[in-house]
Structure 1
Amino acid sequence: MNDEKNAHGHVGPDWHEQVERAAARLLAGGVVAYPSETVWGLAAHPDHPAAIRRLYDLKGRDAQKPVQVSCLDRAAAQRLILPQPALARLERFWPGPLTVVTPARPDCPEDLAPGGRVGIRLPDHPVALALLERVGGLLATTSCNRSGQPAALTFEQARDLGLGDQVLPDGGYPALGVPSTVLLLPEGLILRAGAVSEAQVRAALTESA
């Protein structure tokens, strides 16, 4: 069945079936390009270190730059991170375009937490969430692009890059084209400006408990 495109994004009429195939690829050690509400991403399963290394190779990414972990929900995220008082104040932005780099649990894989910190995000996109649900709630992710180049914003751009073993359609929910804001905890330092403004982050962090 051919995919169809409408005014709101790239719609695969069988995208649920495609998500099932993509999940199987990831669980077998593959790499998948997938849509999010920010920009398109590349994903590997955290149980496959070789697949995570392949993310770096495909992008030409600096090995010192950690990948992000996309999480299905707060319970999935808590499997990786140590408690942080500030996180409760930031939960209003989840699911959504805020990535938090925070101290990792001792048992968090080093591939995900170099230097003892892990970057976590809860995406707000139906295709990404459906994929996460089928692979156990966690994926090692990075933007879908070659290092130094803009991230893919459409299915066509992601497909033409040829970085993933499979490219999922966006289900009619296009990317906004603005990356997630990246916040370092406990320092409260914004490492990258993005879709959540610094003013919004500061207001949340300084709110009375």
Structure 2
Amino acid sequence: MAGWLTHIGVQRAAMTMRAGGVIAYPTESVWGLGADPGNAEAVSRLLALKHRAPEKGLILIAASVEQVEPWLAPLPDVQRETLLASWPGPNTWLVPNGGLASPWVTGKHSSVALRVTAHPVAAALCRAFGGPIISTSANPQGRPAAKDAIQVRRYFGRQLDAIAPGRTGGRRQPSQIRDLASGKTLRP
């Protein structure tokens, strides 16, 4: 963990996000695009790069439960236990937002998509950044998600401000997305 946290490429990518940049980084199954979720301009640029409709919303990933605690505090114990049993790992949950995440993150939804990642580079990025970051697959809408940094460069060329080091975790499928309130699986 400490190795990736202090890696110059991870530090540079985190600094780039703090400065309003858009980056690419490896996750459990595919490469992702990331930005500061509190920076509307950076998120808007990320959405434009992907050709993604803003109303769809975006996922926030974190390095630890503590980084997403503001969304978990009001949850009933049984829901909280469900989340904690699935994290860290490739499990994204739709959790009531309560006004904490910006509309450019939630899109048209009243919930926010949260994941505590088990991927060492993605987790190190969140730690170095100081909190949750945007996570969406690194691909233009309608194209296959990038599986390596070479594909990221093919898709986006020099439009990205940084590309973090590392490789994907080798999972075949992206994270599962489930609604915490209903238990419904939205993406298997």
Alignment of 1:58-137 (within 5 A): 58-81=49-72, 82-84=74-76, 85-114=78-107, 115-137=109-131
- In the TM superposition, residue 178 of structure 1 has moved relative to its aligned partner by 1.3
Runs of 4+ in 1 over 6 A off after TM superposition: none
- Letter of the 1:73 partner, please give it: S
- Letter of the 2:185 partner, please give it: I
Q: 1:182 aligns with which of 170, 174, 177?
A: 177
How many pairs are equivalent? Answer: 179
* Identity percentage of aligned residues: 34
Cα distance in 1, alignment partners of residues 170 and 57 from structure 2? 23
- Alignment RMSD, CA only? 1.9
* Structure 1 counterpart SS, 2:71: coil
- TM-score under structure 2 length normalisation: 0.87
* Structure 1 counterpart SS, 2:56: coil
Cα distance in 1, alignment partners of residues 75 and 111 from structure 2? 12
Contact 2:119-2:169 within 8 A present in 1 as well: no
- TM-score under structure 1 length normalisation: 0.79
Q: 1:161 aligns with which of 147, 155, 177?
A: 155
- Letter of the 2:95 partner, please give it: T
Aligned to 1:57: 48
Cα distance in 2, alignment partners of residues 123 and 135 from structure 1? 14
Higher helix share: 2
Contact 1:18-1:168 within 8 A present in 2 as well: yes
Bigger CA drift: 47-56 or 99-108?
99-108
Cα distance in 2, alignment partners of residues 111 and 152 from structure 1? 23
Contact 2:147-2:168 within 8 A present in 1 as well: no
- The question of 1:18 aligning with 2:13 is answered no
Larger radius of gyration, structure 1 or 2?
A: 1
- Letter of the 2:31 partner, please give it: W
- In the TM superposition, residue 58 of structure 1 has moved relative to its aligned partner by 0.3
Cα distance in 1, alignment partners of residues 169 and 90 from structure 2? 14
